[in-house]
Amino acid sequence: MSVADPMQDDRPRLRDRIYAWRTGLLRSDGFQRWAARTPIAARVARKDGEALFDLVAGFLHSQVLMAFVALDLADHLSDRPRSVEALSLRVGVAPDRLRVLCQAASALGLMQRTSDGRYGLGRLGAALPGIPGLAQMIRHHDVLYRDMADPVAFFRDAPATELAAFWPYVFGASGKIDPEVAATYSQLMADSQTLVAQEALGAMDLGGVTRLLDVGGGTGAFLAAVGRAYPDLALHLFDLPQVIAPATQRFNDAGFAHRVTITGGSFRTDTLPAGADAISLIRVLYDHSDDTVRMLLAKAHAALPAGGRIIISEPMSGGAHPNRAGDAYFGLYCLAMGTGRARSAAEISGHLQAAGFVDIATPKTGRPFITSVVQARKA
350-360 pLDDT, tens digit each: 999 999 999 99
Question: Which of these CATH numbers, 3.40.50.1980, 2.40.10.10, 1.10.10.10, 3.90.700.10, describes 15-130?
Answer: 1.10.10.10
Task: Check residue 210 and give its pLDDT.
Answer: 97
Share of the chain above pLDDT 90, in %: 58
Task: Check residue 227 and give its pLDDT.
Answer: 95
Task: Check residue 10 and give its pLDDT.
Answer: 64
> CA 100, CA 111: separation in Å to the nearest integer?
12
- For the chain, the domains span 15-130, 135-378
Is residue 129 scored above 80 in pLDDT?
Answer: yes
Specify whether the CB–CB gap between 204 and 225 falls below 8 A: no
Task: Check residue 304 and give its pLDDT.
Answer: 98
Q: Quick one: pLDDT band at residue 191, thresholds 50, 70, 90? A: low
By mean pLDDT, which of 4-13, 40-49, 71-80, 96-105 is the weakest? 4-13
Sheet holding 260-264, edge to edge: 260-264, 234-239, 211-215, 278-282, 309-314, 372-378, 357-361
Residues 6 or more apart from 53 whose CB is under 8 A from it? none
Helix ranges restricted to H, the chain: 14-26, 29-37, 39-70, 73-76, 84-91, 95-107, 123-127, 134-147, 151-157, 162-166, 179-203, 221-229, 241-244, 247-254, 290-303, 324-325, 331-337, 345-354
By mean pLDDT, which of 27-36, 185-194, 261-270 is the weakest? 185-194
> CA 183, CA 142: separation in Å to the nearest integer?
18
> CA 220, CA 212: separation in Å to the nearest integer?
12
Task: Check residue 170 and give its pLDDT.
Answer: 54
Is residue 18 scored above 70 in pLDDT?
Answer: yes
Q: In this predicted model, which residue has the larger pLDDT, 188 or 14?
A: 14
113, 56, 108, 109: which is closest to 82 by C-alpha?
113
> CA 232, CA 228: separation in Å to the nearest integer?
9
334, 246, 219: which is closest to 285 by C-alpha?
334
Q: In this predicted model, which residue has the larger pLDDT, 366 or 8?
A: 366
CATH fold, domain 135-378, is Rossmann fold (3.40.50)
Q: Do domains 15-130 and 135-378 have the same CATH topology?
A: no
Whether this prediction's pTM lies above 0.95 is answered by no
Tell me the mean pLDDT in the region 54-76: 96
66, 72, 68: which is closest to 143 by C-alpha?
66
What phi-psi label fits residue 290: left (phi over 0), alpha (psi between -120 and 50 degrees) or beta? alpha
Is residue 1 scored above 60 in pLDDT?
Answer: no
Is residue 41 scored above 90 in pLDDT?
Answer: no
> CA 246, CA 259: separation in Å to the nearest integer?
16
DSSP 239: E
> CA 379, CA 377: separation in Å to the nearest integer?
6
Task: Check residue 36 and give its pLDDT.
Answer: 74
